[in-house]
Amino acid sequence: MLAPGLYVHVPFCVHKCGYCDFNSWAEESREPQERWLRALERQVNFWSKRPETAPAPGFDTVFWGGGTPSLLQPDILERAHALLRDQFLVAPGAEWTLECNPETLDSSRLQHLHDLGVNRISIGIQSFEDIYLDRLERRARRADNLRVLELVAKEWKGRWSLDLMFGLPEQSPARWDAELTQALAFQPSHISAYQLTLTTARSKNWKQPDTDTLLAMFDIAENRLGHAGLAKYEVSNFAKPGEESRHNFKYWRLEPFLGLGPGASGLLAPSQIPDSLNRGRFGAHQKQPDTFEKWENAAGQELAELGTLLSSRSGREHLEEFLMMGLRLREGLDLSRFGDRAQDLGVIFEREQVFGNIEIVGSRARATHQGERVLDSVLQRLFTEIEKIPPTNLDSASFDPIF
């Protein structure tokens, strides 16, 4: 089995931004962080007793997400970090990523993260213009973002990435181009450029640019970043060779990962699931309770951990997720994972090939330049085709050796 990843969710933020639909909330005081750590310790102790969770050589990526993990008190982060290292098998040379917001970073925090063993940070910049930062309800100002990137470029000893958003209210292609120019001045090796999605009640009345303008911004990002040496390896992610996020590849390639903390999810392969449960051929989804209190109460309780937090996956679910995640990647889908079921995949791709949305290159299927821009529609049509495949074909033992 492939080495699994480990995701640790930290729900605390300085402020809950208006567009954010993640499991996070504004909380800066110490007491909730102590409660989080105590519950995390119970959860880690539970899973670390099951050696199948991280078979040798162990987890090869660890990702601290949020929320704002860099908001944790230094001693709490240090204790949590030591907990993972002491209780879990982590492979030598593992990628340790921690998400940060600019208002939480300074020289001492960067040094502390490095000393802990964090070797990659992801910085939530989102915009360099105060007018957009205000609308997004970000606490950092343009000056904060510039200060932090100057600091990171000068002092950080590991890898780093920054996040930007486009499609902001009343944003023009020219202003988006200027945002990219500003970001590239710091010579980052990785940029995530996301289109703003309006899914929360507080953001539903925000006015975004029209579809043609959004597509123009999409093209601007691809062209500007590509010319700067940051190749697009996923729909919204650009990196210099070798600087891609190893942990996020696990999501997009549909590889196993364990989730810890409130709001975390996971995808466990059959070999990671104790024999006492229904293992199935396609493993299980792992999902935490939806509130901090429920997660806190459930953490470390065997019935809650194994009885209610894992749900078995069918062959149809596996295939749909494989398409939904893999078609985001420029490398596309590895059809060899499907053995004699690859013929079924070829059939469902036929119409999209005619439309010019999917191309087959060797043993891989991937979205074309055009297909990436209408990917949601492509996926809906592919899911309709999947419904026509007999379930017995999808549940075949020769289907996907990883699972």
| DSSP notation for 5-61 | EEEEEE-EESS--TT--SS-EE---HHHHHHHHHHHHHHHHHHHT-GGGS-TT-EEE
The CA distances from residue 313 to 284, 307, 327, in Å, are 5, 15, 20
Domains, the chain = 5-248 (3.80.30.20), 315-394 (1.10.10)
> Is the pTM of the predicted complex or chain greater than 0.75?
yes
| Residue 190 to residue 160: CA distance in whole angstroms | 7
| Residue 74 to residue 27: CA distance in whole angstroms | 16
Output the tens digit of pLDDT for each of the chain's 403 residues.
689 999 999 999 988 776 777 777 778 889 999 999 999 999 999 999 887 888 788 999 999 999 999 999 999 999 999 999 999 999 999 999 999 999 999 999 999 999 999 999 999 999 999 999 999 999 999 999 999 999 999 999 999 999 999 999 989 999 999 999 999 999 999 999 999 987 776 767 788 889 999 999 999 999 999 999 999 999 999 999 999 999 999 999 999 999 999 989 999 998 888 777 766 789 999 998 878 999 999 998 887 777 778 888 999 999 999 999 999 999 999 988 888 777 778 888 999 999 999 999 888 999 999 999 999 999 999 999 888 888 888 877 778 888 8
The CA distances from residue 175 to 128, 134, 169, 230, in Å, are 10, 16, 12, 20
Contact between 161 and 188 under an 8 Å Cβ cutoff? The reply is yes
| Residue 257 to residue 249: CA distance in whole angstroms | 11
| Residue 97 to residue 95: CA distance in whole angstroms | 6
